[in-house]
Amino acid sequence: MKVALAQLNPVVGDITGNSERILSLARECAGSGAELVVFPELSLTGYPPRDLLDRPAFVQGSAVALDRIASHIPPQTGVVVGAPLLLDGVLCNAAVVCRGGRVVHIARKRLLPYYDVFDETRYFAPGRSSGLWENSGEHLGFMVCEDAWRMPGLPERQYVVDPVADLAHEGATLLVNLSASPFQQGKRAVRERIAHWHARRHGVPFILVNQAGGNDELIFDGSSLVAWPDGKTVACRRFDEDCIIVDTDTREVVRLRGDEPDDGAARDEIAEVHDALVLGVRDYAAKCGFRQAVLGLSGGIDSALTAVIAVRALGPENVIGITMPSVYSSQGSVDDSYALAANLGMRIETIPIAGLTDAFGAALGPLFSGTPAGLAEENVQARIRGTLLMSLSNKFGWLLLTTGNKSELSTGYCTLYGDMNGGLSVLGDLLKTRVYDMSRWINRAGEVIPWDTIHKPPSAELRPDQKDSDSLPEYEVLDRVLSLYLEEQMDAAAIIGCGMDPDLVVRVLALVDRNEYKRRQAPPVLRVTGKAFGSGRRMPIAARARY
């Protein structure tokens, strides 16, 4: 049987646009000999549609679009679309098989994830055994994403039922999974391991079709694949739309996009995260209607890396950097900002803020009188910069990119209504040490980010001779604690048991918990780890919790 893996990048909520693209690609696949075209999970609505699913008109619009797809596809081609469907009075996350002008089979998602960024029990009712659909001599067993995530070694998913095993016991000769599995470091390898485990266990090919593209903070890498029982793999491209047609009898592959095949080889982890961030910025801007982006260039490593990613996502002609020197800004920082802009070919403008800082000081002077200068005065500079950047965004319709990293966001080493202003946080899920790693990787073939930017001690430059290490532990130590606490979800005792200084651990954890209110007001953070700030981490603000 010739099956097309139609790796789509849908726009959430755009049922009309998504259905047109589904029809167009289905016709193209049919013209190339595909007997079955498989699209990702909720490809009709985009994933995740979230509370759009609470709108009856949205669900009804999806049903109307499904009928239209069924009536317009080539008559001898089956098309499998992921869609929300109201069945027996409840909403289901379904794989809908259309052929011959009608819906011929429906497989309801049985395992509904409710951890991290997933909240499907909020919207959907679980399905029961879906049964098989027979076509061209194959007995096809369809399941949706999480239905396949039941394998030894996945302890957080303690499900009673095993949808894949049920389909295999019913006689499936081909297993097909519609997926919307977000990217995170190492996730692709896990997906491939799961697919091969099912293929070997049941002795039949396992097809997984995954969504590509960025939707808000979530990035989907695609990486759709066919896992054969003998351990071999055929895969689609990563971080882009793609479509391949696989003959399940001969294993012959037709690549409709004409690109080199993905050999499934492991890529450098930094390269994968870089590609994910570039895609995340590109899709967030495009799907929100932005053509250009603006960011503050401080001469520091965070803004430099953000600028590189923005230029690679949007093109150098569409990225504007603003340097805003104060009396505390070193000439080296200004020079580094201009050198970076020249290396990237992007526009750069300068707005000095010394006069504005003086004006704020004069206005606040009567109320600040008699108090020592400190953090409030320092943060005025950051808030002036944030206001200037937001004004430019407001005036010209530019997307303001926030440049802070995960270490800063974790500990509150950032200014609310200042450097936290923006529409998208590009590095908010990258610890500072990872920012350094990626910056060196960027420069692997020659200087893009000025080496002075990478080598100099990091500083906010809000007071004379300021260094980040004045306020925070050294980043190598800090990031180790943050990784264990946030990403491994260890408590203080467990972290201390890893050999970390007890006083330092308690101090860092207190900083993280104390600054929850700041993160609640931060822009969306592009997610690249297993635990990012945002929808996957929901912590109370007014709380007292022991570590």
Task: Indicate the residue type of 283.
Answer: D
Q: Of 8, 486, 527, whose CA–CA distance to 224 is shortest?
A: 8
Cα distance between residue 18 and residue 10, in whole Å: 6
Cα distance between residue 240 and residue 211, in whole Å: 9
Other C-beta atoms lying within 10 Å of the C-beta of residue 408: 25
Cα distance between residue 38 and residue 25, in whole Å: 10
| Backbone φ, ψ for residue 134 (5° rounding) | -100, 135
**89 exposure class (CB count in 10 Å sphere: 0-12, 13-18, 19+):** exposed
Cα–Cα distance list, 443 to 275, 436, 457, 506 (Å) = 15, 11, 18, 36
| Backbone φ, ψ for residue 277 (5° rounding) | -65, -40
CA 329 to chain centroid:
34
Active-site residue set: 41, 109, 145
Q: Of 534, 542, 536, 497, whose CA–CA distance to 517 is shortest?
A: 542
Q: Are 371 and 316 in contact (CB under 8 A)?
A: no
Q: Locate tokens 């054969």: which residue?
A: 228
Cα distance between residue 293 and residue 315, in whole Å: 10
